[in-house]
Amino acid sequence: MTRPPFHGPIWTPPPRNLCPILSIVIIYTHKDCINHLVPSGHPERPDRLKVLLNHLKEAGFLADHRLVPSQQIPTDLIRRAHHPNYFESLERQLPTTGLKSLDTDTWLSPISLSAAKYAAGAVWRGTLDVVSGVEKRVFCAVRPPGHHAETTYPMGFCMLNSVAISAINALTLDKIDKVVILDFDVHHGNGTVDICRNNPKILVCSSFQHP
């Protein structure tokens, strides 16, 4: 049986009072996340975040959903997830001008580590907001991403594993005994698995297409 053609919008939001998930969402972001530069044509480029934020503005979403600048994650929280000397090793490779290749996919520009700390800080602030009950849901509009960054290695566009950092530090909070991470992407969340694999209080579920 042939399915009839579909006409009209793919999804039309119901009235706010009939759709609780559309209630106010706080959105963390930072301008440094846009200023993290990569080579021309790179798939993980500033346009990804620019397009998202512009769409949210043009669609009217930001009219009643707060856009809040994130804060940088403290270095001591990074050290609880990554190797204690990992961030310092990245700092030593940070260029003062131009771009520095960490591998074929992962690049540093002068602002990249600042952007990575703001991205990880957004995830941590969002975690604290939800755990404390200040917010019910948080969205982090940030880059660079993090789930490929391993304990001692940056890779796959990623420098700091924002989710793993927040998961491990969340276990220090009074209300948190265990953490579940749901990772979905085209690629396996190898970094998150690497960092959390020996922690019996963290379950990582990764849904991916490749490899």
Supply the residues annotated as catalytic: 148
Angle at 105 between CA 103 and CA 109, to 5 degrees: 80
15 φ/ψ angles, rounded to the nearest 5 degrees: -55, 145
Evaluate whether 55 touches 105 at the Cβ level (below 8 Å).
Answer: no
**Alpha-carbon distance 74 to 79, whole Å?**
9
Sequence-ordered list of residues with C-beta below 8 angstroms from that of 23, at least 6 positions apart, any chain: 16, 136, 137
